[in-house]
Amino acid sequence: MADKAELQARLEFRKTALAQLREAYLALVSGGVKSYTIDDRTLTKFDIHRLKKEIADMENEVDALESMLNGKKARKAFGVVPRDW
């Protein structure tokens, strides 16, 4: 696991990326622009669903990093496979 300074750097990076994603979403939803550019990516109104998923994923990553910084363990995902014995 990364040390606290590395976790803080990752958190700040993701918060900045999240702010950019939200700004792009609001610009596209408001109808003021037809396309929006983040660094080398260009998004259009047709990308709104993908953008919403990226925002949700980034929010989950920020939440996970914040909980790790607060001393809680990262959430682990697992799956359940029902069996018919």
Q: For 15-41, write each residue's pLDDT tens digit.
A: 999 999 998 888 888 877 788 888 888
Which pLDDT value is given to residue 3?
84
pLDDT beyond 80 at 2:
no
Report whether 64 contacts 74 (CB < 8 A).
Answer: yes
Low-confidence winner among 43-47, 49-53, 55-59, 61-65 (lowest mean pLDDT):
43-47
CA distances from 5 to 8, 12, 13 (A): 5, 11, 12
% of the chain with per-residue pLDDT over 70: 92
Which pLDDT value is given to residue 75?
62
The alpha-helical segments, DSSP class H, found in the chain are 4-30, 48-69
Q: What is the pTM of this model?
A: 0.71
